[in-house]
Structure 1
């Protein structure tokens, strides 16, 4: 989202199959990737950049990448 409130952007991940991600209510960019934050501001999941539009969770073994555009 382009909406930034107090340095974080809202996220809606309640239908995700990853329990830690479903706790996320916002996210923020970091120097090496991004963090998904719980409602209390604690880090639910953190990701570091592994390539162009590709990220890996710092724990949990999850990876994210941008879907190809058709």
Structure 2
């Protein structure tokens, strides 16, 4: 698992991220709808565990990821 922003960028550049039952990548939530989706995603980890990384956004068309930092 990446520990720093540099680790995240290296993982994105290397194509190492793939969302799964145990890994979810999100940009920072900025609306109530985003908060509800985040709550659902976190609750899905309650049974088997998992990792949520905030600050990485998926480009759904190309199925690639990029950093989406927020202040």
TM range (shorter): under 0.3
Q: Which has the higher strand share?
A: 1
Q: Which has the higher helix share?
A: 2
